[in-house]
Amino acid sequence: MASDSVSQSSQSPATRIMTFHPTKEEFKDFNRYIAYMESQGAHRAGMAKVVPPKDWKPRRTYDDIDDLVIPTPIQQVVTGQSGLFTQYNIQKKPMTVREFRKTANTDKFCNPRYADFDELERKYWKNLTFNPPLYGADISGTLYDPDVTEWNIGLLNTILDTVERESGITIKGVNTPYLYFGMWKSTFAWHTEDMDLYSINYLHFGEPKSWYIVPPEHGKRLERLAKGFFPGSAQSCEAFLRHKMTLISPSILRKYGIPFEKVTQEAGQFIVTFPYGYHAGFNHGFNCAESTNFATQRWIDYGKLATLCSCRKDMVKISMDVFVRKFQPERYKLWKAGKDSAPIDHSKPTPEAAEFLTDGKTENETGELSDSSKAETQEKRGEAEAGEEQKANTDSGEEDKTEIPKHEPSISSAQSCDVQPELGNIIVDPKPEPGISSAHTCDATTDPSGITVHPEHEPSINSALTYDVITELSNISVSPKHKPSVNSAHTYDVIIKPSSSAINLKLGESRCSSASAGGSQMCPPAVQHIFQRTLSPAEVLHVHSYAKGDYSDLEPRIRHERDRDSDSDSDSQEDSKVQLQDQAASEEDGLDGEAWARPLAQLWQNRPYNPEREREYNREMGLRPPYCAVCALFQAHQRVRRPGSEICPAVVLPGGQMRTKPLIPERCFTTTTEDSADVQPSTPHLEEDGTSLLISCSLCSVRVHTSCYGVAPARVSKDWKCARCKANALTESCCLCSLRGGALHRANNGKWVHVLCAVAVLEARFVNIAERSPVDLSGIPLQRFKLKCYYCKRRMKKTLGCCVQCSHGRCPTSYHPTCAQAAGVIMHPDDWPFVVYVTCCRHKGPVELSVGQKVICKNKNGRYYQCEVIQLTKATFYEVNFDDGSFSDNLFPEDIVNRDCAQLGPPPQGEVVQVRWTDGLVYGAKFVAAHVIQMYQVEFEDGSQLTAKRDDVYTLDEELPKRVKSRLSKASDMRFDGMFGEKKVQESKRQRVINSRYRGDYIEPVIYRAIME
């Protein structure tokens, strides 16, 4: 058997990508040859290339596929910078292969001129965020002729087919083939296969495909790196890389020491990926590929330990019971008992490779390879090493000089598609399930034109978003099937969040910024500007007219606010009047009467400086978790995540000192400058267990972690002073907010700023990262200083400081970071390049209700009244996908007309059902799942009762949507006057679309509108 090692990066020989050239005879038995490849160590790299015999062809001609329909091509919109990107898939309308090829070959979408693959790779990473390409991914079907038996992707007959034979389950793209039509820059993001399976990808025709691969033994390192850069996604889903939305460039991998290899797949070649091999890649131009998953006995241990996506319903999950029982019977009982937890040896070949091993040595070592094979191997290895040496001498700082290993199937060349004959022997599933199936392995990148997402399949590139954004260029239509249930973290809030042009974020050092700060208020310019991320600060922070007023205020108050804002001060005498007016206004508004504001009464900057009250406040905050004035930023989020438990378990040291784990990730402090100097990742002043020493200022009593404030523990003494007290600037206060107290550092403009505010505000930058000082505020756009704080705007005649904004959609609500922290607004670390994700009161998740609780609910007359919860019940609702692509998740069991669900229970998943809709007509659909929902029975003051979902019930302290406020009534004085006897409002039809409790207030995410325009 002939093989040769090919490597294009400087890793150890054991993890280099190998290329195999099987003979005709060897090519006949797929499973045996895979075993042989592993006997040669090909699996160590996580990927291998196979060049079939020269006269082998899977299809006689590709001239007859022009009329093949790509049901749901996708447009791949990429956001990010400095080597870290997030990819979103937008479904487009169906198109034929002829139309796709014509589009791919236009000047707009064709690849640029290039001298070699290295140059093309650099251009790929440089232009990744511009001009989003289309990708025709996850198309059920095959281009193989039926009489082809060798390496037929639809007929591999591996142990994975046990699933189909013994359970009758077909998982499209996993044990059935998928087609992929690509164009220049169409991409598949970093991922492993569903259930960490093997995959095979054959490039039928067209331009090459580049692949990147991280060897399985280093997969955990890549996961840790990704979680560090995308903590928000990692918090929402442990296996968020399976969403195929995360792109990390080779330069980042090199910088953080993640080993990787790259290879280019030409037309007529196979790429095989091995279990737990993280891979990504892109297409060089128009091409067509075919792919599926398979398995060997070695995979079973990987399948048992695979980490699965927990946030999406369409992720592939295979029961390992049948495999363990059949192939590992001696371990079955232990495995069922949860005691079969042996670690995986990534270097060990599959048991089927035993025939190629002699005393543990490979054929190469025992001399079984022919002389010609050995010579070819040595020659190619020498070429590869020479290439490595040459690359090592190049500038490693350039973004993407590595060839990229791709796992996506691409399409045929333009020349082969000019003829338009019949479809011949093409076998295509006429109704592929909508959605980029997660079942498909590495090539899960999807074409933006219209790829359907198959819930059973592996989530293609951004399948987490594909069904959320089903758009056409003329209008937006969100159908039930595409209700944003795919990924809670990225549903209908998905927006492109550009950062200010004043900031150049670089990967390792990038300091994240609040998604709320810039992204949520963008005013969408032309589409190409959104894609090119050239928004000006004014566009990024466009202040909506309604952002200046509290949406809970009445109109007279808003008018009064405007009148007050129109005043101007001309001299110091006027300033003193302003202070008096501010104090009177605050008393009028009663802000100090609110529980959270009472401790702050003497700390507002428009009141006289009170050093004793400031010390008292700092002391009180230092005695409460998280004990640190900087970590307090994320205090409310920690309480929500772990109710009833201590936020920061403390380690008490001899002498009474304490150490706790900081809540602020180091990533929130890191920043970059325009020079290219690398900032090595570090965790300054942290102990090995992740804790940091808590220290208190001897003058102002503020308490901070040494890591949060940038103080070396060795320099701390009993009389340690914070930076402000040390500079004897006791009367100075933060220039970014309206409150005193807390931990401050000097800013570069001679002023002072809370470290908490500097972390929260997107454009603020720590110049000296280790010391957390000084803070550069020059990048903050003026528009941010014009935002008015939701909490303190009525207190202050003048607009003080700058605000962060709610991160949900285009919500205009803005806060000073310190006001938000004191009021309990939920904030948590966001994905790079942002820092803080802010959730305002109206977007905060609902809390559970209890019997006897007073609430507000809609009565039969269409108005809202106060009522009382009298009973908690459960109700079952069915979720279905309709044939027209819409979906509903609130059907009653009796709405299924072709099955007696009351007697038989819910239909099996995927079963075709007939649904009677609210219009009386019957529609075809596929059953998805049954959901048991908590229902609340409420009683109004007249004794009438009704049952409602949690989304339709509001607590007395919740922020009410405008549509509820406008219909809110008090019935106590009219209890017996027939108020509830008004004409019953006709119940609205049950929606087959997103059921948002804030439907009347929902602001369409920027990305949708921008793309539509």
Average pLDDT score over residue span 818-835:
86
| 212 found inside a domain | yes
Distance CA 237, CA 245 (A): 13
In this structure, the answer to whether residues 832 and 860 fall within a common structural domain is no
In this structure, the answer to whether residues 718 and 820 fall within a common structural domain is yes
Residue 123 is which amino acid? K
What is the pLDDT confidence band of residue 812, given thresholds at 50, 70 and 90?
confident
Residue 525 is which amino acid? P
Q: What's the CATH code of the domain at 814?
A: 3.30.40.10
Q: Which residue has the higher pLDDT, 518 or 741?
A: 741
Average pLDDT score over residue span 483-491:
36
Task: Indicate whether 476 pLDDT > 90.
Answer: no
Task: Indicate whether 411 pLDDT > 90.
Answer: no
Tell me the range of 271-280, 808-817, 856-865 where mean pLDDT is highest.
Answer: 271-280
Q: What per-residue confidence (pLDDT) applies to 363?
A: 44
List the single range of 383-397, 642-656, 907-921 with lowest mean pLDDT: 383-397
CA-to-CA separations, 973 to 83, 333, 335, in angstroms, rounded: 64, 69, 67
In this structure, the answer to whether residues 818 and 904 fall within a common structural domain is no
What is the percent of the chain with per-residue pLDDT over 90, rounded to a whole number? 40
Average pLDDT score over residue span 628-653:
72
Q: What per-residue confidence (pLDDT) applies to 14?
A: 73
Q: What per-residue confidence (pLDDT) applies to 734?
A: 95
Contact in structure between 467 and 434 (CB atoms under 8 Å): yes
Return mean pLDDT, the chain.
Answer: 74
| 716 found inside a domain | yes
Q: What per-residue confidence (pLDDT) applies to 648?
A: 55
Q: Which residue has the higher pLDDT, 566 or 803?
A: 803
In this structure, the answer to whether residues 641 and 773 fall within a common structural domain is yes
Task: Indicate whether 147 pLDDT > 80.
Answer: yes
Residue 742 is which amino acid? G
Average pLDDT score over residue span 787-808:
86
**Collapsed DSSP state (helix, strand, coil) of residue 299:** helix
What is the pLDDT confidence band of residue 841, given thresholds at 50, 70 and 90?
confident
When divided into structural domains, the chain yields a total of 3
Query: Domain end: 351, 372, 406, which one?
Result: 351
In this structure, the answer to whether residues 893 and 832 fall within a common structural domain is no
What is the percent of the chain with per-residue pLDDT over 70, rounded to a whole number? 67
Q: What per-residue confidence (pLDDT) applies to 282?
A: 97
Task: Name the strands in the sheet holding 658-660, side by side, starting at the edge strand that comes first in the sequence.
Answer: 651-652, 658-660, 692-696, 703-705
For residue 86 the two structure tokens come to 């997030």
Q: What's the CATH code of the domain at 146?
A: 2.60.120.650
Q: What per-residue confidence (pLDDT) applies to 834?
A: 80
Q: What per-residue confidence (pLDDT) applies to 198?
A: 95
For residue 144 the two structure tokens come to 């193989």
Q: What per-residue confidence (pLDDT) applies to 919?
A: 82
Q: What per-residue confidence (pLDDT) applies to 868?
A: 94
| Phi, psi angles (nearest 5°) of residue 500 | -60, 145
List pLDDT tens digits, range 91-113.
999 999 999 999 999 999 999 99
How buried is 556 (Cβ within 10 angstroms: 0-12 exposed, 13-18 middle, 19+ buried)? exposed
Contact in structure between 781 and 723 (CB atoms under 8 Å): no
List the single range of 133-147, 331-345, 506-520 with lowest mean pLDDT: 506-520
DSSP 333-367: HHHHTT---PPP-TTSPPGGGGGG-BTTB-HHHHT
For residue 856 the two structure tokens come to 């507000």
Residues in CB range of 719: below 8 A, 6 or more apart = 698
List the single range of 109-118, 275-284, 638-647, 671-680 with lowest mean pLDDT: 671-680
| 8 found inside a domain | no
Task: Indicate whether 935 pLDDT > 50.
Answer: yes
What is the pLDDT confidence band of residue 341, given thresholds at 50, 70 and 90?
confident
| 404 found inside a domain | no
Q: Which residue has the higher pLDDT, 98 or 163?
A: 98
DSSP 948-977: EEGGGEEETTSPPPHHHHTTB---GGGTTT
Average pLDDT score over residue span 870-880:
90
| 588 found inside a domain | no
In this structure, the answer to whether residues 808 and 889 fall within a common structural domain is no
Distance CA 438, CA 277 (A): 16
Contact in structure between 99 and 151 (CB atoms under 8 Å): no
For residue 987 the two structure tokens come to 């119940």
Distance CA 315, CA 309 (A): 7
Q: How many Cβ atoms sit within 10 Å of the Cβ of residue 217?
A: 19
List pLDDT tens digits, range 972-994.
544 444 444 444 444 444 545 43
Task: Indicate whether 885 pLDDT > 90.
Answer: no
Distance CA 855, CA 937 (A): 11
List the single range of 146-155, 608-617, 788-797 with lowest mean pLDDT: 788-797
Radius of gyration of the chain (CA): 31
In this structure, the answer to whether residues 807 and 861 fall within a common structural domain is no
What is the pLDDT confidence band of residue 281, given thresholds at 50, 70 and 90?
very high
Q: How many Cβ atoms sit within 10 Å of the Cβ of residue 405?
A: 30
| 47 found inside a domain | yes
Q: What per-residue confidence (pLDDT) applies to 556?
A: 38
In this structure, the answer to whether residues 917 and 816 fall within a common structural domain is no
Distance CA 394, CA 401 (A): 9
In this structure, the answer to whether residues 305 and 231 fall within a common structural domain is yes
Query: Domain end: 816, 839, 862, which one?
Result: 839
Distance CA 775, CA 263 (A): 44
Query: Domain end: 944, 966, 988, which one?
Result: 966
Q: What per-residue confidence (pLDDT) applies to 45?
A: 95
| 696 found inside a domain | yes
For residue 407 the two structure tokens come to 């796992």
Active site residues: 173, 180, 191, 193, 279, 291
List pLDDT tens digits, range 64-86.
999 999 999 999 999 998 899 99
In this structure, the answer to whether residues 231 and 169 fall within a common structural domain is yes
DSSP 790-834: TTTTTT-SS--S--EE--STT---EE-HHHHHHHT-EEEE-STT-
Distance CA 455, CA 332 (A): 30
Distance CA 37, CA 550 (A): 66
Angle (nearest 5°) at CA 196 between 190 and 198 = 95
List pLDDT tens digits, range 671-730.
543 333 344 445 577 888 888 999 999 999 999 999 999 999 988 988 999 999 999 999
| Chain-centroid distance, C-alpha 263 | 27
Q: Which residue has the higher pLDDT, 277 or 943?
A: 277
DSSP 816-828: -HHHHHHHT-EEE
Note down the domain range covering 59.
18-351
Distance CA 789, CA 770 (A): 31
| 768 found inside a domain | yes
Q: What per-residue confidence (pLDDT) applies to 172?
A: 59
In this structure, the answer to whether residues 198 and 326 fall within a common structural domain is yes
Q: What's the CATH code of the domain at 875?
A: 3.10.330.70
List the single range of 433-437, 817-821, 865-869, 1007-1011 with lowest mean pLDDT: 433-437
In this structure, the answer to whether residues 61 and 190 fall within a common structural domain is yes
Task: Indicate whether 62 pLDDT > 50.
Answer: yes
